[in-house]
Structure 1
Amino acid sequence: MKIFRLLSWTLAVLLGAVMAAPGEELQVVVAGRYHEPVTAYRAGGRTFINAKQAGELYGGQVYWYPISGRVQMTFRSRRLQFVAGSEQVLVDEKTARLEAPVMLRAAQAYVPLSFFLGPEFSALCGMESQFNERTRLLTIERHSNVGPVRWFSYQDHTRVVLELKRPLSYGAAARGLRGVEVTIPFGVIETPEQSSVGDGLVEDYVLRQDAKLARLTVRLAKPGLKWRVRELSDPRRLAVDVAVSDLPPAGPAEPSAPISAAAVAAEVGVSSVAAAPAGLPAGASRKRLIVIDPGHGGRDSGANGRRGTVEKDINLAAAKELAERLKEDDIFEVLLTRGDDTFIPLADRSRLANEAQADLFVSLHCNAARNRKENGFEVYFLSERASDPEAERLAQFENSSLELEGKSASDAEAALLLRAMTKTENINAASELAARVARALHKRVDFGNRGVKQAAFYVLRGTDAPAVLVEMAFLSNRRDEAKLESSRYRRRIIDGLYAGLIDHAKSQGWLQEGAPPRSRR
């Protein structure tokens, strides 16, 4: 038996040396956070990852015995054992089969990645994994039924929201004079969370895992504040509302779906955007309209990441996620300039917003730079003079899609110059919106904050509403690219964008009780 193992070990070394392509680093995102890469090799059309790194990545204890070629992993008293050159893996006392033998490379064992993506390993370690073959990104999420947490400051109250899966129950109680505690029996969180709010109503919150329950503690800014816990649906979530005075009755709200760009383009008019609620003047609506513009699309792919991530896809995913978030609380109407992978000329994006008489316009993009160390987010508003050379370069890149329309940037600039001179009021409002969005993003993401900037973006010039363009992160930076591709991490970006929009709406008095309806001319 020992001789057989030695022969298998030797064969694995030889096969690994001959068949494996040069090593690579797989980017990893765990629970929405960037993790250090793991080493991998490709052989026979399959991907193998370093067994020791994989075990540690999934939270196990790993033991590597190079003489016998054995790898042992332990997860919560459950044991795995791999043997170099063997297609079999011992799971506790049962034997399972790998899609290929364990490979040895540089005196380290490499296990087929497919094993870690399968349901058996997922049940054993309590995590689910997905691997994007094109971008070579490994995404790992813990099994959870509670969380994440997000928070927003509204006109007259602050809301802390906790996602909660069915059929979990919950309880809420005061904790001292300045606290609210929500407990969820049998709740399992993905990762502990703690965040400072500091808006005068909520000081901070903590989500943690206790034995057999999850616990959310919200610390109020001062004694005597009013609070309530309300269950919301689609998706199911708990809302902890905090206010100075009594909170208004919590009536049911039916969220409205985003308005399609096709509906506006087909027949622009009051009826094509939304029907006015009963009791309002004809052509009026209490809700403000936000147009979300997923940059690029169709034959205009935008920037490309180092590992193949395509900007137009990230922009569209983020835009749809933001639209869903905006409709949850039924405060805004939402219009997407595109809902699929379609090429939309820049002028048509602005025209859609103008014909729908948008109140705000938000264009979503991903950045790129020759220097791969550049990272972080930027928020732009319109100016005929760029705030710096890099802003000017970026505007030229984003405006380059005009060439796909058969237009020149100089002709388009002349046509819009006079119009831009009449937009001072909107530009001032856009600068305030940009500052609020940047501030909200800074509180919620761990990207670098590159600040608020100005440049002559064509899509902003043509829009008759306060308009901003958000460069969410750099696809040319490997960490930023991995985060952008993670839906879990993008949720933080969406929370920041939403919070910035809410803050702006609050500053404009749009959220006040009895605020004048929006008039559609």
Structure 2
Amino acid sequence: MTRVSPLLLLAVLLAAPTALRAGGRPAPWPEDRFSAGVDGRFLTDLPLRRIDGTPSVSLQTVRRLFGGRVEWRGVSRRVSYLREGGVVRFDLDSSTAQVLGKPVALEAPVQVWGSAAYVPLSFLTTPEFQSVAAARVEWSSERKSLTVDPTPSVSSPRYFSYPDRSRVAVEVGPRVEYRLLARRGNTLVLRFYNGQARDWEKISVDDGLIESVEIAPQGRLTDFTVTLTTWAAPPEVRLDPMPRALIVEARRRGEGETLEDGGDENPSPAPDAGARGPLPAPRRAVPRTDLDAATLTLSPLRTIVIDAGHGGEDVGAVGPHGTYEKDVNLQVARGLADLLNAEGRFRVILTRADDRFLTLQERSSIANKAKADLFISVHCNAGLNAASNGFEIYFLSEKATDDEAAAVARRETAVIELEGLGGKARGKVEELLWALARNEHINESSTVAAHIARQADKRLGSLNRGVNQAGFSVLRGTAMPAVLVESAFITNPKEEGLLRSARYRQRIVDAVYAGLLDYEKRKIQARLTHTAPGGEGG
């Protein structure tokens, strides 16, 4: 009979932890469950252990959420989590992890039971782990919910049409460089090195200057193609530093100017993907010191008030996985404010920049006191039918488009019950004066809403429920054009997941912003025509 060395047996057990080490018994720590929203989709009923009071997850669950693989080194009592972004090493029973070779303190030591190694859930929210996972991670202990938003090193293209130019932007990571591969006729081909987009995308822009854009990942490279129209002048290509983004900007060409005037048809070839050594530093952006005079003087939009619906004790609608409407509204409102502020020529006011309660009258009063040119109230839709879905936008009218629009208005106005005396109705004379002012702005509100709805239809890929009208109290009190955005149905499980996704919320922000730019551009063109010699006002 062959005898097995006790030392060899111990080494085997340490090198390959199995349920045998736990004796088939369940883990001794209290078990709980949590959900996770990962890039627009929900994972539910995920296991959570509370080890000495610390919420902890197994590395198998980490792998399910972020991909990658787990490796055991039993003899050295070490377990590693590996991903393209790097390696994280844990020593069993230690309160320190090694992330990309650097020590990171853990809330509690790593624990093992059977084949599972448990790490504190709080470790997933550290900047060091987020760098390895290439994702933003947030944990809500109140709702026992994790949000994971991937952050690829090459983003989806974002495109906007301004009164005097069109722009495409692709945000890139700190190690990504680019090279112009070719410029042939109306097509530019650029290549990103050390960066990969998440998906292949081809977007039809078709705004008169830019025809289409395409992003195509190829291993550790990504090609970016911009096709211009015959009306475009040679485009400007630059790298903006904050946020770090490649910008392609096109303007309408002048008399006798052609696309070929802008540069070499066949730029020097890019280095091989495997070539060593840094690429030449790309040209940095030069801050703009001028703005188009017509845009500044004729724009109908100077002061914009953005209202994040609900807030504080008024949570708004609640999704089936516990997402609060008030939180989504604030994230979208702040994102839109950031985008407008980045343009440098709008005065942007948020009715609330944090989680606080405001009456409907307080919200409209903020806009009136600021003498705003436009009021935008941001909300999520809700329905009794969980299958209800899509984007829609409203403007004020005493008569609702249909029964469903009237129901939406009643729901968004239900907050009056929380307002007490601070939200009491105005007197009859004041109400009559406000009614006259509202009628003056209804047509403009309808036009703004139509432009935003068209951009949402183009960018969101969801059902476009169109432009509707109803008697919203928050719009009733404003003395300027005003619209109310219902971004998606938070009561629809799929759309709740999308609303939890930073990438989808960015699309909502971009759609609203692009709609405002379209409205501005049309108004400027109309005013230029009206004031030109020979025009109606000439």
After TM superposition, the score normalised by the length of structure 2 is 0.72
1:266 alignment partner in structure 2: none
Q: Cα RMSD (Å) of the superposition?
A: 4.5
Q: Residue 359 of structure 1 is aligned with which of 369, 373, 377?
A: 373
1:294 alignment partner in structure 2: 308
Q: Name the SS of the counterpart of 1:390 in structure 2.
A: helix
Q: Name the SS of the counterpart of 2:451 in structure 1.
A: helix
- How far does residue 504 in structure 1 lie from its aligned partner after superposition? 1.0
Equivalent residue letter for 1:332: F
Deviations 1:253-312 (A, max 9, x none): 3799xxxxxxxxxxxxxxxxxxxx9xx99xx99862211112223443333344443333
Q: Does 1:315 align with 2:326?
A: no
Does the CA-based 8 Å contact 1:385-1:456 persist in structure 2?
yes
1:338 alignment partner in structure 2: 352
1:456 alignment partner in structure 2: 471
Specify every segment of 5 or more residues in structure 2 that has no aligned partner in the other structure, as ranges.
1-9, 73-78, 258-284, 532-538
In structure 2, relative to structure 1, the CA distance for the partners of 1:451 and 1:52 (3 Å cut) is farther
Deviations 1:157-188 (A, max 9, x none): 32111224557554336432231123344345
Does the CA-based 8 Å contact 2:388-2:489 persist in structure 1?
yes
- How far does residue 46 in structure 1 lie from its aligned partner after superposition? 4.9
| Inter-partner Cα distance in structure 2 for 1:474 and 1:133 | 24
- For 1:367-386, list aligned pairs within 5 A: 367-386=381-400
Q: Does 1:178 align with 2:192?
A: no
Q: Residue 499 of structure 2 is aligned with which of 467, 484, 493?
A: 484
In structure 2, relative to structure 1, the CA distance for the partners of 1:139 and 1:405 (3 Å cut) is closer
2:22 alignment partner in structure 1: 11
Q: Name the SS of the counterpart of 1:15 in structure 2.
A: coil
Equivalent residue letter for 1:290: I
2:450 alignment partner in structure 1: 435
2:512 alignment partner in structure 1: 497
| Inter-partner Cα distance in structure 2 for 1:57 and 1:222 | 46
Does the CA-based 8 Å contact 2:42-2:497 persist in structure 1?
no
- How far does residue 487 in structure 1 lie from its aligned partner after superposition? 3.4
| Inter-partner Cα distance in structure 1 for 2:343 and 2:18 | 65
| Inter-partner Cα distance in structure 1 for 2:146 and 2:338 | 26
- For 1:59-458, list aligned pairs within 5 A: 59-60=67-68, 75=83, 99=109, 101-102=111-112, 111-112=118-119, 114=121, 127=135, 129-142=137-150, 144-165=152-173, 169-172=177-180, 174-189=182-197, 192-210=200-218, 213-222=221-230, 226-246=234-254, 252-253=287-288, 288-406=302-420, 411=425, 416=431, 419-420=434-435, 423-458=438-473
Does the CA-based 8 Å contact 1:327-1:334 persist in structure 2?
yes
In structure 2, relative to structure 1, the CA distance for the partners of 1:434 and 1:405 (3 Å cut) is same
| Inter-partner Cα distance in structure 1 for 2:518 and 2:491 | 31
- How far does residue 328 in structure 1 lie from its aligned partner after superposition? 1.4
Does the CA-based 8 Å contact 1:56-1:62 persist in structure 2?
no
1:28 alignment partner in structure 2: 37
- How far does residue 475 in structure 1 lie from its aligned partner after superposition? 3.0
Does the CA-based 8 Å contact 1:381-1:454 persist in structure 2?
yes
Does the CA-based 8 Å contact 1:292-1:361 persist in structure 2?
yes
Name the larger-Rg structure: 2
Q: Name the SS of the counterpart of 2:157 in structure 1.
A: strand
In structure 2, relative to structure 1, the CA distance for the partners of 1:178 and 1:411 (3 Å cut) is same
| Inter-partner Cα distance in structure 1 for 2:56 and 2:470 | 46
Equivalent residue letter for 2:506: R
1:259 alignment partner in structure 2: none
Q: Name the SS of the counterpart of 2:414 in structure 1.
A: helix
Does the CA-based 8 Å contact 1:12-1:102 persist in structure 2?
no
- How far does residue 192 in structure 1 lie from its aligned partner after superposition? 4.6
Q: Residue 466 of structure 1 is aligned with which of 481, 493, 500?
A: 481
Deviations 1:374-413 (A, max 9, x none): 3333211112122233322221222222233335999559
- How far does residue 225 in structure 1 lie from its aligned partner after superposition? 5.1
Does the CA-based 8 Å contact 2:389-2:492 persist in structure 1?
yes
Equivalent residue letter for 2:210: V
1:39 alignment partner in structure 2: 46
| Inter-partner Cα distance in structure 1 for 2:387 and 2:221 | 42
| Inter-partner Cα distance in structure 1 for 2:127 and 2:302 | 45
| Inter-partner Cα distance in structure 2 for 1:498 and 1:182 | 26
Equivalent residue letter for 1:460: L
2:272 alignment partner in structure 1: none
In structure 2, relative to structure 1, the CA distance for the partners of 1:147 and 1:254 (3 Å cut) is farther
| Inter-partner Cα distance in structure 1 for 2:97 and 2:243 | 40
| Inter-partner Cα distance in structure 2 for 1:513 and 1:172 | 37
| Inter-partner Cα distance in structure 1 for 2:455 and 2:198 | 23
Does the CA-based 8 Å contact 1:168-1:186 persist in structure 2?
yes
| Inter-partner Cα distance in structure 1 for 2:137 and 2:433 | 53
